[in-house]
Structure 1
């Protein structure tokens, strides 16, 4: 993943799934707040059910394609050198393990929903996807400790976003009727996808901070001041992404409530406001 494309491809998958999860969570809640339930995945309505499992297919197929790129294409099938794992492609092997977990989640969820051989409750699926995020967290945590300077700082912020994905997924399994928990999961996944994009454009694209440059797959800065400015710039970028996502969620909620809002929604909000006043 140490390239522009290597960050954009997984970032696109996370971004698509995250935005869809946010929108679906909002629509399901405003449509019927009393029967709302946390979901590890969201079906696509309409089209006579032909695209109902589209999200799971995107997860399974997308992660499988990226897995093949990391494990087969990038390594050129040179898995072993002198009887041991090829040290040149250890990063590719690590990334493959992370992608394998998301592929397993997609396949398990499809088997659970489309067959009678693996009937799992929604909470179990939430824990499975949390396990996939845990593997991703460990991968990038050790990446962030191995990478130094500005590159390590961008990885550290990514690790924080992945931790939010883990927390929201586990909490969603523990509180299956909580709208904030379900929505926070979509927000965390969306931010993770956006941060992959931001990392690609900053470290491997046209947004490299002044005084820093990419040389031989390494990010180096001319001085400590340049590195600090780059880290402050990263903080500003993350703040802008968080602000944009929350602004989008707010706009989506207003639009969805005006178009799909259930009669119970206003009554529920009124009763909650009355309780808060006391």
Structure 2
């Protein structure tokens, strides 16, 4: 849809999923550090907020397919006229939705251990982003200079996103790789919203953007850099909040561990440092042995 809603709808989807990924990635990372385990990134995240057997189901994939189906259906419906599909632009948007929906199908197949090559979920994500980039690259013929500019920024974000996914697929244990992939997903979403306000501002009385004015093109460029900066700060804030939550949750455990060590390690009558090893299953038995220095 070449209108305000046609840009804010996919933008909203990107923002929702990006925020979800940020929260879950930071949770996995700090949880791994707590357990002294190795962090490993993945495309599909589980939903720990659910209970029972639903906790580990691929809920994210089902939600993704549901939301993208809505976008796909709206693009097809609004592109119909007298029983015929006439809006090629809607067809391009619908194709974009289809390939992102395909990533949800792959996530479900992998969850149920379908016979697929390793990292198929990453490859499907790369394909979806690449198709999106190709569609938008040839979506700009005959457009105004400002229209071309704002969509060109979107192309940059898409193809850098493709690179970040490939890097993450190679370096699965580095938290920066999935954070980069999700950052560019978020940047896509916020910039889709900005494009909607630049090209199809719904606010009555607002001054329209001049499509071939160099001054307005410079302002649009400035807005894009602000989106980059604000989104980066948002990522830092999300990480800081989750880090504080995990740190506060472990404060009591650290104090308890220190008290336990003080009870276990004490000084004997002859000045030697002794370690008491208490067996909880048999509290009557206590062993003491000197610690060699």
TM range (shorter): 0.7 to 0.9
Deviation of 1:126 after TM superposition, in Å, equals: 1.2
CA distance in 1, matches of 2:143, 2:205: 17
- Work out the CA distance in 1 between the residues paired with 2:218 and 2:207: 12
Q: State the match for 1:257 in structure 2.
A: 243
Q: Report the TM-score, using the length of structure 1 for normalisation.
A: 0.79
Q: Give the number of the structure whose residues are more often helix, by fraction.
A: 1
- In structure 2, C-alpha distance between the alignment counterparts of 1:183 and 1:18, rounded to whole Å: 10
Shift in Å, 1:207: 10
Indicate the residue corresponding to 2:285 in structure 1.
Answer: none
Does the alignment pair 1:47 with 2:50? yes
Q: In structure 2, what is the Cα distance between the partners aligned to 1:64 and 1:126? A: 21
Q: Does residue 114 of structure 2 align to residue 117 of structure 1? A: yes
Q: TM-score, normalised by structure 2?
A: 0.75
Q: How many pairs does the alignment contain? A: 243
Gap regions ≥5 residues in structure 2: 251-293
Highest relative contact order (Cα 8 Å, sep 6+), 1 or 2? 1
Deviation readout 1:1-51 (Å, 9 max, x if unpaired): 310000111111011001111221122112214421121121111321536
Provide the C-alpha distance between the structure 1 equivalents of 2:198 and 2:102, rounded to a whole number of angstroms.
31
Which stretch shifts more, 127-136 or 145-154? Answer: 145-154
Paired with 1:28 and 1:134, the residues of 2 have a C-alpha distance of 28
Partner of 2:228: 242
> Is the 2:23–2:238 contact (alpha carbons within 8 Å) kept by the matching residues of 1?
yes
- CA offset digits 1:137-185 (Å, max 9, x no partner): 0001112344231111111011111112211111111111121110011
Aligned partner of residue 164 in structure 1, secondary structure: helix
Assess, with a 3 A threshold, how the Cα gap between structure 1 residues 186 and 42 changes in structure 2: closer, same or farther: same
Give the alignment's Cα RMSD to 1 decimal.
Answer: 2.4
In the alignment, the residues of structure 1 paired with residue 44 and residue 240 of structure 2 have an alpha-carbon distance, to the nearest angstrom, of: 23
Q: Any idea what SS the aligned residue of 1:144 has?
A: coil
Q: Distance in 1 between matches of 2:217 and 2:204?
A: 13
Q: Which runs of 5+ in 1 are unaligned?
A: 80-85, 214-219, 222-226, 264-278
